[in-house]
Structure 1
Amino acid sequence: MSQFSLEGQIALVTGGGRGIGLGIATSLAQAGAHVVIADYTKDLAEAGADAMRGLGRKSAAIVVDVRKPESVTAMVDATVKQFGRLDIAMNNAGIVSLGGIGELTVEQWDDCMAVNLRGVFLSTQAEVAVMRKQKYGRIINTASIAGKVGFPALSHYSATKFGVIGFTNAVAKEVATEGITVNALCPGIVGTGMWRGETGLSGKWALEGESEEASWERHQKIFLPQGVAQTPEDMGQMVVYLACAPHVTGQALAVDGGFSLG
């Protein structure tokens, strides 16, 4: 058996219906885990669960609002009821919006805090309650390179991701002797909704007369020593490693093509 085998383990991925979350769920399934997909719409959750079954794994689709304690508790309870335990929790649900400090609204700030930080807190709290009984668990929280280095027009987003890293480090110390590890994943520049499209960063930061595609290519060269963006599958590889690493905890590990080298 490979040292990175997750054969028979039960994983839960929030925001698992598309993008980075689906890439992570796919990697977990390929490593042998049965993967529960939780997302904010039924269509996204079911599409993700169908993809897991297509890989030969058991799955379930759960609709969750990570801002609400009762919804998060129901998600974890449903996972344990159907599969008997919870070994790996990937708290990936998140949102992003753009706004410079002069235009950022209170609603944007509150929405980002509610999903990206409150959601990670509520999910981790519910997951730890189960994992403590098992005396085993792996929790990975999605942060960002924006949790290590601030980006213009993303002060609210960066604040949540810096918060996720601090929260992760603190909780890891609380549960360190209970068979539970808690780490943060810090994706770099991934070609999903935060970056791509006219409303994404590559669109917003396009030079006069520059297409979104050209801006996307230019920013990869600007920010990344490797010169190429990362993929959801790259994130999945790191999560599989963390799920298999008993003595890695409290860390914020970047998968960013060298961006955070400084």
Structure 2
Amino acid sequence: MQLKDKTALVTGGGRGIGQGIAMALAEAGADVAIADLDIAIARETASKVEALGRKSLALKVDVADVDSVNHLIDEVATAFGHLDIAVNNAGIISIKSIAELSAGDWDRVMAVNAKGVFLCTQAELRVMPPRQFGRIINVASIAGKLGFPDLSHYSASKFAVIGFTNAVAKEVATDGVTVNALCPGIVGTGMWRGDEGLSGRWRQEGESEEASWERHQKTLLPQGVAQTPEDMGQLAVYLASAAHVTGQAIAVDGGFSL
């Protein structure tokens, strides 16, 4: 298997895209530590990784807190002996127009989505370069390539992740470490689904949330169907294996951001 003997960390790995990436890495042969603010769901995903015959570890982390992040990386390095692949996936979403948006809303999204990626990447780069091997994958979004109404703060945080990723990739290019951004498209997780998601927010008069979800897939996506956490896992495995792909922001979005 292409990732045999590699160790990986996925933040926000307890559910959704993070879980899909964690499982794909495990299926490719990696041992995978699962970090999440919710330790219960981290443990559930870790048990699924172990069911595939891989080693796993569930850890609690607040990616916006420097001490919590540094402790996380120390725990993973101690438990596994080294860290080869880090997927900085933890993130949050809120849906508000610019008129509705408060300074607190802005700060909270930036703290997790942008500062969290910075803190995790910085800590991971303490342990990767000495071994002359590392793969850092920062989960951004197509909202980091295209602006969306009601998501100005979220888009700003994801644009920041893409710029940060490109800059850091150039800093560590000779250290055996690659740094890339994975940009999910329309995935049927909490950002889109439900009355509080985008398909609920953007439904037309008399339209159900389910009908809105179906309409947005067909009108926004050239392929006409949403992407899945498993799709994101496929790209993560590729980026974890590729030696000469770095500084990129690659979308898995069915052609939306072409």
TM-score, reference length from structure 2: 0.99
Q: SS of the residue aligned with 2:210?
A: helix
**Partner Cα distance (1:21, 1:206) in 2:** 27
**Partner Cα distance (2:213, 2:22) in 1:** 26
**Partner Cα distance (1:124, 1:224) in 2:** 32
> Is 1:36 the counterpart of 2:33 in the alignment?
yes
Residue 54 of structure 1 and its aligned partner are, at CA, apart by 1.3
> Is 1:81 the counterpart of 2:78 in the alignment?
yes
2:217 corresponding residue in structure 1: 220
2:155 corresponding residue in structure 1: 158
Residue 56 of structure 1 and its aligned partner are, at CA, apart by 1.2
* Cα offsets for 1:109-163 (capped at 9, x unmatched): 0000000000000000000110011111000000000000000000000000000
Residue 45 of structure 1 and its aligned partner are, at CA, apart by 1.3
Structure 2 counterpart of 1:37, one-letter code: I
**Paired residue total:** 258
**Structure 1 unaligned residues grouped into runs of 5+:** none
> Is 1:21 the counterpart of 2:9 in the alignment?
no
Structure 1 counterpart of 2:139, one-letter code: T
Q: Spell out the pairing of 1:106-125 with structure 2 (5 A cutoff).
A: 106-125=103-122
Q: Percent same amino acid at aligned positions?
A: 68
Q: Spell out the pairing of 1:1-262 with structure 2 (5 A cutoff).
A: 5-261=2-258
Structure 2 counterpart of 1:171, one-letter code: V
Residue 242 of structure 1 and its aligned partner are, at CA, apart by 0.3
Q: SS of the residue aligned with 2:8?
A: strand
TM-score, reference length from structure 1: 0.98
**Partner Cα distance (1:216, 1:105) in 2:** 27
* Cα offsets for 1:159-208 (capped at 9, x unmatched): 00000000000000000000000000000000000000000000000101
**Partner Cα distance (1:19, 1:42) in 2:** 15
Runs of 4+ in 1 over 2 A off after TM superposition: none
**Structure 2 unaligned residues grouped into runs of 5+:** none
**Partner Cα distance (1:57, 1:44) in 2:** 18
Structure 1 counterpart of 2:76, one-letter code: T
Residue 50 of structure 1 and its aligned partner are, at CA, apart by 0.8
**Partner Cα distance (1:176, 1:191) in 2:** 35
Residue 106 of structure 1 and its aligned partner are, at CA, apart by 1.0
